[in-house]
Amino acid sequence: MATRKITFLTDVSLITCIVQRGLGDVIVKAARDAGAQGATINFGRGTGVRERLGALGVTVEVDKEVVNIVVAAEQVDTVFNNIYLAGELDTPGMGFMYVTPLEKAATYIPQEVVKRLQQSQQ
Amino acid sequence: MAHLHIHTPDIAELGEAPKLITCVIPDEGNKDLELLRSLRSGGDIITATSYQSRWVGSLSGGLMGDGKQRKGRRAPQAKAVRVISVVVAGEFANDVFQSLYDQAEIDRPEGGIMYMGPLGIATLFTLPEGVTDEPG
């Protein structure tokens, strides 16, 4: 079987953000506002911080949304900061976020985009 | 200053550091199960799972975004997707990535995205003898 040619994207990172259920769309909007293309959103359940927040813990939703966003390395800081501010992650119990470096990513890239990228790299 | 010593058992003879491959594909029936079967029969992976998720955005045409600000625009409708997560030994990672890319038909409009990154450490997932294949 002949294998098809893959156009890889390198210098990419994965931003993972865990927030209370219902806030995933806020995170995605903030990421898109900063230039990210899209995101996956999964449901999850969290534990840990609620117990530490005492009476305030009851206001922290136990159901979570886990948002994964792939972004170019050069966009990571912008997207990360935008999400941080939009998700109010500086407020205790609001959520948590981290960046994982990726080796490569692949998707459908229209030929005209590939040509444009090749020309810009020459 | 106290030092914490943690005994780490010899958990893997994985050769090169393991990798995590993540593949997001449109929700098209049992395609994720077909891919899992194919990965299992290939024998080069450590473990693979599939789960449902939703995707907001375009599933192709500039995964990395164009860097343009989109403030004020409404987010597109969310799509149902299946996410396949594969742990594979480093020496097989590129081959498995290529194979999954071909079989999942990522290279088509709205075909999905996939990415691969390093894992620090992973356990082997060895099944006992005599486990029959799951139906379906």
pLDDT digits 0-9 by tens, B27-36: 988 888 999 9
Residue-range domain boundaries for chain A = 8-121
Nearest neighbour of A35 by CB, restricted to B66, B114, B116: B66
What's residue B8's pLDDT? 47
Percent of chain B with pLDDT over 90: 35
Distance (Å) of CA B46 to CA A77, B88, B90, B109, B133:
33, 5, 11, 30, 16
Q: Is the pLDDT of residue B44 over 90?
A: no
Q: Is the pLDDT of residue B64 over 60?
A: no
Distance between CA atoms of residues A93 and A40, nearest Å: 22
Distance (Å) of CA B11 to CA A114, B5, B7:
42, 17, 11
Q: Is the pLDDT of residue B133 over 80?
A: no
What's residue B63's pLDDT? 47
Helix and strand counts by DSSP (H, E) for chain A: 4, 6
Distance between CA atoms of residues A47 and A31, nearest Å: 25
Domain over B19-61+75-118 is classified CATH 3.40.50.1820? no
B111 vs A60, more confident:
B111
ipTM for this model: 0.81
Q: Is the pLDDT of residue B45 over 90?
A: no
Q: Which CATH architecture has domain A8-121?
A: 2-Layer Sandwich (3.30)
Q: Is the pLDDT of residue B66 over 60?
A: no
Q: What is the pLDDT along chain A (122 residues), one digit of tens a residue?
A: 555 677 788 889 999 999 998 999 999 999 999 988 889 999 988 776 666 666 666 666 678 999 999 999 899 999 999 999 999 999 888 889 999 999 999 988 888 877 887 787 77
Which of A 18-57 lie inside 8 A of B, CB atoms?
Answer: 25, 28-29, 32-42
Q: What's the number of CA atoms in the CB half-sphere (13 Å) around residue A14?
A: 20
CB contact under 8 A, B57 and A70: no
Nearest neighbour of A36 by CB, restricted to B60, B65, B108: B65
Q: Read off the pLDDT of each residue in B1-19 and give the average, rounded to a whole number.
A: 60
Q: Read off the pLDDT of each residue in B115-134 and give the average, rounded to a whole number.
A: 79
Average per-residue pLDDT in chain B? 78
What's residue A78's pLDDT? 95
Shortest alpha-carbon distance between residue A5 and chain B (Å): 9
CB contact under 8 A, A107 and B71: no
Contacts of B8 (CB under 8 A, 6+ apart): none
Q: Confidence band (pLDDT; 50, 70, 90) for B13?
A: low
Is-contact B24 B101, C-beta < 8 A?
no
Q: Give the closest residue to B93 by CA, choosing from B72, B70, B66, B122.
A: B122
The answer to whether residue B69 neighbours chain A at the CB level (below 8 Å) is yes
